């Protein structure tokens, strides 16, 4: 099993700092602007469905063969790493040894919108992007790739480990039911983190962030996915069942919080630092950030999914259109659903793994470890932030899936809240 990281949150900012920070630098609004600038509106045939999709899958995969190579576009710090060589990834090495397939692993995704701005003109020109498989977060960018027909539908006959070991919840996501184009890499919750030594009472409700006793001490996200979706969940339940009327009501609620001076700042990533130094007492938060903060000694912090519900986001493995090594890419995808391999990743990145059986592997590793390594492994295996309970899953929802027209309305409603 891979070596354990030592105090990643403090020493290198942690995978979550790099991963989620980069994602928030542009946000949906900027992402929409980037896509528009690329001139991709209506640039491709929309994705097929029904019998047409079945025919497309059969026709595409007929005669496809293994080539011995795969090019993977990934986020920084989002896979297991050899403690002696940060550019070496034991799970990738094991794949190459088992299959003979060489993996070119490129940490080139700094945020979804800018990555799409890079590859969309290439796809529009009908050319290979240089990447066969990429890791894309559910939300506007993934929606656009599917809507434009720039993802290859998956041949599930190559995904036997996925079929056997994936958590069934990931088979029925709102953004890709049945995993036609995506399989999950890792996930996380958007909830609330708070300093137990400073808040006047334990936080249980999303609307506790409107408590005037917290005036000037609340952090909210400066983005157009987690911020609006979280309040929609709190007010109406499943965001998929909401429309512009509900969006405007949610925006009014957020404006009320802002205008009363309760929000100190709309954060991209540095809310953990603000919580740690007392600038804020409570904030919207990502589960993996809080796990790593707790592992680094921030014992005064607590993460909760609000009683009204929270948001779950998922980073997905997808095959980009015009991929030159699609069979090898599918074999790579499926490799990571073996519990042993999924455990290697979970032990390092500390986000939610889509393979529940990885927990038993981590517990077995812990039995053979000692000292801090053993504690670290037990923390991962026993954390609901890595292995959520059924009750946790029942309280969270995916981001609202938006059409291009809906996105324009959505942006006009929510962007002024945190950009003003």
Question: What does DSSP say about strands 183-195 and 301-304: parallel, antiparallel, or unpaired?
Answer: antiparallel
How many residues appear in the chain?
420
- 359: nearest Cα among 334, 384, 336, 335: 384
How many CA atoms are closer than 13 Å to the CA of 76, on its beta-carbon side?
16
Q: What is the pLDDT of residue 5?
A: 28
Residues 364-393 have a mean pLDDT of 95
What is the Cα–Cα distance from 298 to 269, expressed in whole angstroms? 17
Please give the CATH number for the structural domain made up of 190-312+397-417. Answer: 3.40.190.10
Q: What is the pLDDT of residue 18?
A: 37
Q: What is the pLDDT of residues 113-167, one digit of tens each?
A: 899 999 999 999 999 999 999 999 999 899 999 999 999 999 999 999 999 999 9
- CB contact at 8 A, 282 and 193: yes
pTM (predicted TM-score): 0.85
- CB contact at 8 A, 183 and 166: yes
- CB contact at 8 A, 238 and 252: no
Work out the mean pLDDT of the chain and round it to a whole number. Answer: 89
DSSP one-letter string for 319-357: EBTT-S-HHHHHHHHHHTTSHHHHHHHHHHH-SB-S-TT
Question: What does DSSP say about strands 69-74 and 133-137: parallel, antiparallel, or unpaired?
Answer: parallel
Residues 265-278 have a mean pLDDT of 92
What is the Cα–Cα distance from 149 to 171, expressed in whole angstroms? 21
Which helix (H) or strand (E) segment is 91 a member of? helix 90-99
Q: What is the pLDDT of residues 157-207, one digit of tens each?
A: 999 999 999 999 999 999 999 999 999 999 999 999 999 999 999 999 999
Q: Check whether 17 has a pLDDT greater than 90.
A: no
From residue 78, give the alpha-carbon distance in Å to each of 18, 106, 315, 338. 9, 11, 10, 18
Q: What is the pLDDT of residue 412?
A: 97
The owner of tokens 């030159």 is: 324
Q: What is the pLDDT of residue 19?
A: 44
Which helix (H) or strand (E) segment is 55 a member of? helix 50-61
What is the Cα–Cα distance from 170 to 227, expressed in whole angstroms? 23
Phi, psi of 392 (to 5 degrees): -60, -50
- 332: nearest Cα among 23, 85, 94: 94
Residues 6+ apart with CB under 8 A from 125: none
DSSP state of 85: B
Please give the CATH number for the structural domain made up of 49-187+313-384. Answer: 3.40.190.10
Q: What is the pLDDT of residue 168?
A: 95
Q: Check whether 16 has a pLDDT greater than 60.
A: no
Q: How far is CA 382 from the centre of its chain?
A: 21
Question: What does DSSP say about strands 396-397 and 183-195: parallel, antiparallel, or unpaired?
Answer: unpaired
DSSP state of 79: S
Asked if the domains at 49-187+313-384 and 190-312+397-417 fall in one CATH topology, the answer is yes
Q: What is the pLDDT of residue 1?
A: 36
Q: Structural domain boundaries of the chain?
A: 49-187+313-384, 190-312+397-417
């Amino acid at each position: 099993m891979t070596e354990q990281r030592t105090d990643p949150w403090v020493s290198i900012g942690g995978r979550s700092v790099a991963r989620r920070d980069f994602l928030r630098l542009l946000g949906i609004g900027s992402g929409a602007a980037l896509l528009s600038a690329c001139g991709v509106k209506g640039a491709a045939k929309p994705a097929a469905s029904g019998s047409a999709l079945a025919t497309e899958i059969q026709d595409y995969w007929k005669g496809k063969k293994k080539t011995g190579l795969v090019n993977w576009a990934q986020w920084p710090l989002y896979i297991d790493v050899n403690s002696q060589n940060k550019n070496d990834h034991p799970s990738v090495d094991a794949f190459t040894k088992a299959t003979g397939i060489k993996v070119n692993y490129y940490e080139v995704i700094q945020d979804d919108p800018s990555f799409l701005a890079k590859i969309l003109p290439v796809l529009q020109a009908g050319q290979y992007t240089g990447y066969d498989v990429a890791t894309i977060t559910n939300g506007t960018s993934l929606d656009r790739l599917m809507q434009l027909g720039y993802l290859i539908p998956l041949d599930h006959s190559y995904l036997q480990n996925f079929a056997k070991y994936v958590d069934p919840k990931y088979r029925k996501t709102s953004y890709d039911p049945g995993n036609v184009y995506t399989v999950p890499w890792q996930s996380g919750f958007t909830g609330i983190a708070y300093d137990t030594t400073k808040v006047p009472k334990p936080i249980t409700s999303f609307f506790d962030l409107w408590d005037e006793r917290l005036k000037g001490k609340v952090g909210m996200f400066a983005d157009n996915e987690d911020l609006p979706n979280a309040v929609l969940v709190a007010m109406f339940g499943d965001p998929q069942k909401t429309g512009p009327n509900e969006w405007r009501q949610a925006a009014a609620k957020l404006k009320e919080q802002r205008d009363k001076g309760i929000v100190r700042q709309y954060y991209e990533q540095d809310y953990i630092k603000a919580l740690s130094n007392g600038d804020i007492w409570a904030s919207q938060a990502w589960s993996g950030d809080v796990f790593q903060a707790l592992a680094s000694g921030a014992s005064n912090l607590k993460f909760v999914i609000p009683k009204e519900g929270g948001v779950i986001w998922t980073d997905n493995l997808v095959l980009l259109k015009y991929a030159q090594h699609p069979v090898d890419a599918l074999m790579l995808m499926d490799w990571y659903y073996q519990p042993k391999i999924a455990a290697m990743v979970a032990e390092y990145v500390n986000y939610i793994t889509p393979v529940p059986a990885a927990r038993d592997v981590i517990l077995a590793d812990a039995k053979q470890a000692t000292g801090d390594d053993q504690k670290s492994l037990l923390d991962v295996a026993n954390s609901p932030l890595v292995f959520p309970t059924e009750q946790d899953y029942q309280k969270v929802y995916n981001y609202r899936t938006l059409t291009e027209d809906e996105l324009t309305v959505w942006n006009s409603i929510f962007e002024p809240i945190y950009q003003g």
